[in-house]
Amino acid sequence: MSDQDRSPNPEQDAAQKQAEEVAREAVEQARADEVEAAPEEASGRDPEAELAALRDELAQARKALGEADLRAQAEIQNMRRRVERDVEAAHKYALEKFAAEVITVADSLERALTSLDADNEALAPAREGTELTLKVLLDVFGRFNIAQIDPKGETFNPEQHEAMAMVPQPEAAPNSVIDVLEKGYTLNGRLLRPARVVVARAE
């Protein structure tokens, strides 16, 4: 073969290159079309439907989150109220055990007054001293919201009174308190000790 037969033909080479370029562009375009069509074919829905579904899910998630936040806030508020009530009760009734012991001192002073003969002049100073001591003690009780229950003449109340006996008493109304053996006490309205009483009953 001569050198002339082996020499390239410029026109033939250009045509071949142009054909290869057109083929390459066609392949790339086909691949691009496949990529664009793949999501739609895979999902089976158009992009608008997908976007609407995502927006709906987002709205539901926000709603659920808002409800959970409201529930959490309500629970925190309830817990705060419970703690405040517990603290208030602790302050109000911190002296409950101490008060239950101290009221026995008032009982002793009242029994002492009962035993001192009011007609005996020799016992007058002792009686006056005991009365003054009892008055000072009851004033202290008042400052700490400790109140006496002295229900003589009142209707028997099982929530505040303890019946020690029931006796017939024609002059008194049935179920009324005719005698108080031991006065009761409350602390801030809470019963410390019921009044121990004698109750009238019908004949």
For range 131-139, the mean pLDDT: 95
User: If DSSP codes are grouped into helix, strand and coil, which group holds residue 61?
Assistant: helix
pTM of this structure: 0.57
Q: Please indicate whether residue 2 or residue 184 has the higher confidence score (pLDDT).
A: 184
pLDDT for res 39: 52
Closest CA to 21 of 9, 29, 33, 32: 29
Q: What is the pLDDT of residue 19?
A: 59
pLDDT (average), residues 117-122:
85
Helix (H, G, I), strand (E, B) or coil at 163: strand
SS3 7: coil
For the segment 12-49, what is each residue's pLDDT rounded down to a tens digit? Answer: 566 566 656 655 665 566 556 555 555 544 445 677 77
Model pLDDT, residue 134: 94
Tell me: the pLDDT tens digits for 146-183?
Answer: 999 999 999 999 999 999 999 998 888 999 999 999 99
DSSP-assigned states of every residue in 86-122:
HHHHHHHTTTHHHHHHHHHHHHHHHHHHHHS-TT-GG
**Who contacts 136 (Cβ-Cβ below 8 Å, separation ≥6)?**
none
